[in-house]
Amino acid sequence: MKGKEVKCLHACKNTCSMLNEALRKEASTVRFYEGILDECNQPDVRDFVINLVEERRKEILTIIQKLNEIHARSQTLDGIYSSFNNNS
């Protein structure tokens, strides 16, 4: 896949479409690797794929953390904006 196939909307609220797409693709990759594990019986290849799965899961957690940060920041900003709007 080329990097240009996914376009940022630049209008995200409470989330990021680019990170959600990255999360979807990483999860799909983990499922693919797990399918390989079901079929593989070579110990060195299994160990290699297990390491790949572990690394991808770490990346998934990092993406989820960033999405949570974006959501929390957006909620905070919404709260600030609404407090100004309620006072006027």
* Residue 9 covered by a domain: no
Domain of 32? 14-87
Euclidean distance between the first and final Cα of the chain, in Å?
49
Mean pLDDT (10-residue bins), the chain, 88 residues: 63 78 96 93 95 97 93 73 66
Token pair of 7 as six digits: 């376009």
* Residue 38 covered by a domain: yes
Confidence (pLDDT) at 60: 97
User: CA 81, 82, 86 angle in degrees (round to 5)?
Assistant: 125
Look up the pTM and report it.
0.73
Question: What CA–CA distance (Å, rounded) separates 72 from 68?
Answer: 6
Token pair of 68 as six digits: 């949570």
Token pair of 31 as six digits: 């499922």
The structural domain count of the chain equals 1
* Residue 5 covered by a domain: no
Cβ atoms of 50 and 37 within 8 Å: the answer is yes
Confidence (pLDDT) at 14: 64
In the 8-state DSSP scheme, what is residue 34? H
* Residue 2 covered by a domain: no
